[in-house]
Amino acid sequence: MANDLYNISLHRIDGTPATLEPYRGRVLLLVNTASQCGLTPQYNALEALYQRFKEDGFFVLGFPSNDFSAQEPGTNEEISRFCATQFHVSFPMFAKIPVVGKNRHPLYNALTAARPTSVGDSKQKFIEGLVNFGATINPEPEVLWNFEKFLVSRHGEIVARFSPNVEPDDPKLVKAIETELAKK
């Protein structure tokens, strides 16, 4: 499965074809993102996390998706501009993809198959908040909402999955990244 992850066809946010192959041997945090979500400010903490650990071989990879209450309606160009101007995002961003449902991108098929459940201390409270917001809740293994995070080891193994309400600077997430970076 790890090798499959690196060979899945993707596109960078500028439209150029890509795979995760250039990131082989690196620790990755894959995040489905959105520009008009209550969690959008997580871009700041994701960028800080990337800056903190990039010299150690860590990458945040952003995958915009419009699957949750149409909170990412823009084009890839608009998303790229928004991320650069509003949050100074320098970590790699990829083209908008579906992350749930029958049209789910193969990358998210692989991620959710490897880690069918997410962790987060107040995940149930977050779910209740989404329900009160009027959102449709996807049962796991589907991605719950924007900013769900998948941690990938240097060997391409999906080692952890964090619910959207787990902030990028949450000590448990940071510890999991540090643990993976310490492994050679």
The question of whether 37 is a catalytic residue gets the answer yes
- The pLDDT confidence band at residue 170, using thresholds 50, 70 and 90, is very high
Q: What is the rounded average pLDDT of the residues 93-112?
A: 97
Alpha carbon of 93 to those of 9, 16, 54, 62, 141: distances in Å? 14, 11, 15, 5, 24
- Domains in the chain, ordered, with CATH? 2-182 (3.40.30.10)
H helix runs in 26-122, sequence order:
42-53, 76-87, 106-114
State the pLDDT at residue 168.
Answer: 97
- The pLDDT confidence band at residue 3, using thresholds 50, 70 and 90, is low
State the pLDDT at residue 136.
Answer: 85
Among the listed residues 10, 37, 45, 119, the single catalytic one is 37
State the pLDDT at residue 22.
Answer: 97
